[in-house]
């Protein structure tokens, strides 16, 4: 009876070795994991850079001696942040596009 149970378990749960000839599930899984890793690493890098710039801006604002200097620093900060967020959005879209094209490659093969 135990042999029948083992046979049922093997047939209902195919392992990676059973899927390897098809290539698709394994390749898609690998591409997806790599895409998530790339997106996560890029997110962490961007947040770290932004926090460093936020700290520098805060220090510059604390050292201001006039309202005009404060306004200038704030304006530069917001302009730079807008540019950086726009560039980061484009970079993330590019990473997602690369992942999508990597996922479609096994389908074409």
Residue 107 carries which DSSP code? H
Residue 23 pLDDT level (bands cut at 50, 70, 90): low
Q: What are the extents of the domains in the chain?
A: 24-108
- Nearest to residue 88, comparing CAs of 56, 53, 42? 42
Residue 9 pLDDT level (bands cut at 50, 70, 90): very low
User: Taking residues 81-85, what's their average pLDDT?
Assistant: 97
Residue 26 pLDDT level (bands cut at 50, 70, 90): low
């Amino acid at each position: 009876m135990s042999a029948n149970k083992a046979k049922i378990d093997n047939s209902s749960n195919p392992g990676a070795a059973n899927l390897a000839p098809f290539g698709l599930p394994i390749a898609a899984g690998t591409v997806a994991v790599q895409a998530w890793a790339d997106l996560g690493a890029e997110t962490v890098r961007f947040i770290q850079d932004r926090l460093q710039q936020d700290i520098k801006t805060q220090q510059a604002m604390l050292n201001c001696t006039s309202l005009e200097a404060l306004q200038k620093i704030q304006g530069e900060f917001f302009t730079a942040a807008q540019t950086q967020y726009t560039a980061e959005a484009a970079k993330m879209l590019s990473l997602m596009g690369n992942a999508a094209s990597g996922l479609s490659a096994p389908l074409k093969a």
